[in-house]
């Protein structure tokens, strides 16, 4: 049966209780701040006015996202491929969702709020010591902040060394893109790709 209403949804799943219901905060506190300052990686979600969805990985050195106060984050828009999917969506809707991860920690931190793209020199100065400083950053106003339980990471064993595959047995991105695009040129090796990417980190 296709679930098409909130009534059907709640009949199937019920409602959150206890901590699951009460844990959503409207600002950052010491544990959320510590989580962000320890995290080197996040997934950014956004949507266009037309409803086109996007989820984009963002990473840097530990604490690459800067905290201005208990409601404000500044995310560097590091050099990429110029598709600008996420920031185009942010310009259209002014909305953002963030999922912060810490290697080895099974819990995650979820942030939802409003956002805009900025080239304000005051914000860019926060990243002036980076190898490749950003030309713009994302200003986030926190509206919801809450910790997410460990179940997904425990199920996936994401941080467990035993779950890692041998990357030599997995096709390189060059090979996959060649196949997807019908290109016959010699694919770039993983080593050459990582060496090329390292110049833009």
Radius of gyration for the alpha carbons in the chain, expressed in angstroms and rounded: 19
**Contact call for residues 50 and 100 (beta carbons, < 8 A):** no
DSSP-assigned beta bridge partners for residue 67: 73
Give the whole-angstrom CA distance, residue 90 versus residue 84: 10
Tell me, yes or no, whether 175 and 93 share the same domain.
no
**What integer pLDDT is reported at residue 197 of this predicted model?**
87
Domain assignment present for 2:
no
Give Cα 167 distance to the centre of its chain.
23
Domain assignment present for 6:
no
**What integer pLDDT is reported at residue 79 of this predicted model?**
85
Tell me, yes or no, whether 46 and 129 share the same domain.
yes
**Contact call for residues 99 and 109 (beta carbons, < 8 A):** yes
| Cβ partners under 8 Å of residue 23, min gap 6 | 146, 147
Tell me, yes or no, whether 22 and 89 share the same domain.
yes
Tell me, yes or no, whether 111 and 184 share the same domain.
no
Q: What is the CATH number of the domain that holds 41?
A: 2.30.110.10
- Token couple for 38: 């320890």
Structural domain range at position 20: 12-156
Tell me, yes or no, whether 169 and 133 share the same domain.
no
**Count of structural domains within the chain:** 2
Tell me, yes or no, whether 110 and 77 share the same domain.
yes
**What integer pLDDT is reported at residue 131 of this predicted model?**
87
* Burial readout 129-152 (b: 16 or more C-beta within 10 A, e: otherwise): eeeeebeebbbbebbebbbeeeee
Tell me, yes or no, whether 114 and 175 share the same domain.
no
Tell me, yes or no, whether 185 and 127 share the same domain.
no
**What integer pLDDT is reported at residue 158 of this predicted model?**
95
**Contact call for residues 138 and 115 (beta carbons, < 8 A):** yes
**What integer pLDDT is reported at residue 22 of this predicted model?**
85
Domain assignment present for 187:
yes
Tell me, yes or no, whether 194 and 123 share the same domain.
no
**What integer pLDDT is reported at residue 19 of this predicted model?**
85
**Contact call for residues 86 and 54 (beta carbons, < 8 A):** yes
Show pLDDT as tens, one digit a residue, over the chain (201 residues).
899 999 999 999 999 888 888 899 999 999 999 999 999 999 999 999 999 999 999 999 999 999 999 999 999 999 888 899 999 999 999 999 999 999 999 999 999 999 999 999 999 999 998 889 999 999 999 999 999 999 999 999 999 999 999 999 999 999 999 999 999 888 888 998 888 888 878
Domain assignment present for 5:
no
**What integer pLDDT is reported at residue 198 of this predicted model?**
85
């Amino acid at each position: 049966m296709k679930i098409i209403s909130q009534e059907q949804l709640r009949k199937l799943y019920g409602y959150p209780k206890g901590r699951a219901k009460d844990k959503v905060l409207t600002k950052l506190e010491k544990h959320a701040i510590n989580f962000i300052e320890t995290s080197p990686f996040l997934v950014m979600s956004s949507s266009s006015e037309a409803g086109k969805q996007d989820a984009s990985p963002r990473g840097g050195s530990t604490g690459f996202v800067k905290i201005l106060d208990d409601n404000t984050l500044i995310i560097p828009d590091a050099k990429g491929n110029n598709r600008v999917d996420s920031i185009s969506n942010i310009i259209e809707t002014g909305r953002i969702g963030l999922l912060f991860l810490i290697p080895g920690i099974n819990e995650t931190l979820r942030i939802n709020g409003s956002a805009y793209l900025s080239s304000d020199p005051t914000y860019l100065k926060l990243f002036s010591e980076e190898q490749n400083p950003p030309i713009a950053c994302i200003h986030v106003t926190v509206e919801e902040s809450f910790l997410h339980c460990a179940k997904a990471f425990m199920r996936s064993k994401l941080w467990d060394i035993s779950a890692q595959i041998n990357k030599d047995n997995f096709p390189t991105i060059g090979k996959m893109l060649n196949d997807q695009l019908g290109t016959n040129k010699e694919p770039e090796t993983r080593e050459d790709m990582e060496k090329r990417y390292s110049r833009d980190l």
